[in-house]
A = this chain, B = another copy of it.
């Protein structure tokens, strides 16, 4: 390994960008379990899914065997507007920590959506457009996914209807305005526009909404119009597929300098970033070509992998979506107001859940005040102001680097820096003012939530 010539940032040329997504399922011995129809308990078929998703995305969702799936030229052209994203050698952080570890991070925040979400947003919008659809619906909590989808739809001249959790709609007016800049219609959820929204408002007047409710509204709105489909920013197999571009680029950049990471770390909410970052490395591990240590980092307030059950569960609180087999805290679990909104999901990608179940990766959970400490330390030496979600990975990477300092090991650590925190300054302000609290659900709370898991 030649470390001397490694620049601060490794960029690929456009020629070196991936031409195919990598489908890790092709290399999994134990495939992720199929989605089930909640009414019949039978696996969801292509036909079952057609009213919700567009056709090509269903094919990708159900395809457990094709290893490489070509990225259409139009999507590759869009990627060129903000990709390849830099792979950064964290020289300044290494020096600050005085660690012998070599730290790299793949930075996905240098686009206007502020995160990696754009990688799948453009793919989902593209296939919807190619099918002749008029628009798509979705939900957004923290707002990164909604912003990404707005950008993709604007580029393709596709309608974009976003149901934004009401509390976020009110507390994050700037996120809302970015989406409006990109021509999206943004509705606070619950709304009077859908049956499920009216029902919830009648039962809970004045509710500030939840992601589960917003999903239900978005799915209902898509179903009500044959020219619309519903799209989702995480959890699904298709999303992991699209996000593999993160890992493929990272691996190509490291390969240029013959660098092989020992540890690969990503934050985990629904799994879109982690699944994408580790995909090609996990493929090598599954095929027995190379060993890597993978670490999923989740908030202690929403510990799906570390404290959840591996079971079939609803993907949404409103129980209108199919059942997925995954690590879950129960679809009724209400995460506390953790500021990493993108990690407040009760479940986890079925692919990652299966890999975790099979022992291919480990998971840890972190409390948010520690995470913000790491975020601030990182920002001051590396310049980038990280999103709270991403900061979970930063904190874990710094912990691993400090372990190397103790043992003297020169491990190579790669982590995913999924996005920037420009729209999270309220959380940073609370942290600065000492007003940030940690919250860990009790065993009793989790048991109560598990009791509501569907019986199959």
Nearest-Cβ distance from residue A180 to partner chain B, whole angstroms: 5
**Partner among B173, B384, B426, B429 whose Cβ is within 8 Å of the Cβ of A429:** B173
Binds B, one of A7-15, A199-207, A291-299, A362-370: A7-15
A8 x B81 contact (CB < 8 A): yes
Residue of B182, B422, B423 touching A380 (CB-CB under 8 A): B182
Q: A383 and B92: CB pair below 8 A?
A: no
Most buried by B among A174, A177, A183: A177
Interface residues of A in 80-139 (CB under 8 A from B): 80-82, 92, 110-112, 114
Instruction: Tell me the A135-161 residues at the B interface (CB within 8 Å).
Output: 151, 154-155
Chain B residues in 8 Å Cβ range of A7 = 13-14, 80
User: Bound state CA distance, A9 and B376, in angstroms?
Assistant: 30
Say yes or no: A112 contacts B379, CB within 8 Å: yes
Partner of A180, one of B178, B180, B423, B432: B432
Q: Does A54 contact B (CB under 8 A)?
A: no
Q: In the complex this chain forms, how many copies of it are found?
A: 2
Given contacts A13-B7, A14-B8, A81-B92, contact A385 B181 (CB under 8 A): yes
Does the CB pair A80–B182 fall under 8 Å?
A: no
Say whether, besides A81-B8, A422-B422, A376 and B181 are in contact (CB < 8 Å). Answer: yes
A294 CB, min distance to chain B CBs, angstroms: 27
Complex contacts, A82 vs chain B, CB 8 Å: 383
Name the B residues within 8 Å of A182 (CB-CB).
379-380
Inter-chain contact A174/B422, CB cutoff 8 Å? yes
Residues of B within 8 A of A155 (CB): 92, 380-381, 383
Most B CB within 10 A of own CB, among A154, A174, A429? A174
From residue 408 to 430 of chain A, which have CB atoms closer than 8 A to chain B? 420, 422-423, 425-426, 428-429
Residue A382 lies at the interface, judged by CB distance under 8 Å to chain B: yes
Point out the residues of chain B lying under 8 angstroms from A177, CB to CB.
Answer: 425, 428-429, 432
**What is the CA–CA distance of A426 and B155 in the complex, to the nearest angstrom?**
24
Count residues of A near B (Cβ-Cβ below 8 Å): 41
Closest partner residue, chain B, to A157 (CB atom): B380
Nearest CB in chain B: distance from A418 CB, A? 15
B-side contacts of A376, CB under 8 Å: 181
A385-398 interface bits toward B, Cβ cutoff 8 Å, 1 = contact, 0 = none? 10000000000000
Residues of B within 8 A of A181 (CB): 376, 379-380, 385, 428, 432
> Which residues of B are found within 8 Å of A428, using beta-carbon distances?
177-178, 180-181
CA distance A82 to B422 in the complex (A): 17
A294-324 to B contact mask, C-beta < 8 Å, 1/0: 0000000000000000000000000000000
Interface string of A232-254 (1 = CB under 8 A from B): 00000000000000000000000
Residues of B within 8 A of A382 (CB): 81
A294 vs B262: C-alpha distance in the bound complex, in angstroms? 51
Chain B positions within 8 Å of A9 at CB level:
14, 80
For A111, give its contact among B154, B180, B383 (CB under 8 Å). B383
For residue A119, give the distance in angstroms from its CB to the closest CB of chain B.
13
Instruction: Flag A170-210 by CB within 8 Å of B: 1 or 0 each.
Output: 00011001101111000000000000000000000000000
Rounded to whole angstroms, the CA-CA distance of A235 and B383 in the bound complex is: 25
Chain B residues whose C-beta falls within 8 Å of the C-beta of A178 in the assembled complex: 385, 422, 425, 428
Distance of A323 from chain B, by nearest CB (Å): 36
Tell me the residues in window 1-34 of chain A with beta carbons closer than 8 Å to chain B beta carbons. 7-9, 11, 13-14
Q: Is the CB of B174 within 8 A of A380?
A: no
Contacts of A13 in B (CB 8 A): 7
Give the complex CA separation of A428 and B183 in angstroms: 12
Contact B384 A112 (CB under 8 A): yes
Q: Please measure, in the bound complex, the distance between the C-alpha atom of A382 and the C-alpha atom of B81, giving whole angstroms.
A: 7
Cα A15 to Cα B355 in complex, Å, equals 42
Q: Which residue of B lies closest to A9 (CB)?
A: B80
- List residues of A whose CB falls within 8 A of some B CB: 7-9, 11, 13-14, 80-82, 92, 110-112, 114, 151, 154-155, 173-174, 177-178, 180-183, 376, 379-385, 420, 422-423, 425-426, 428-429, 432
**Listed A/B pairs (5) with beta-carbon separation below 8 Å:** A9-B14, A11-B11, A173-B429, A177-B425, A178-B428
8 closest residue pairs by CB, A with B: A174-B425, A8-B80, A422-B422, A177-B425, A112-B385, A154-B380, A7-B14, A177-B429
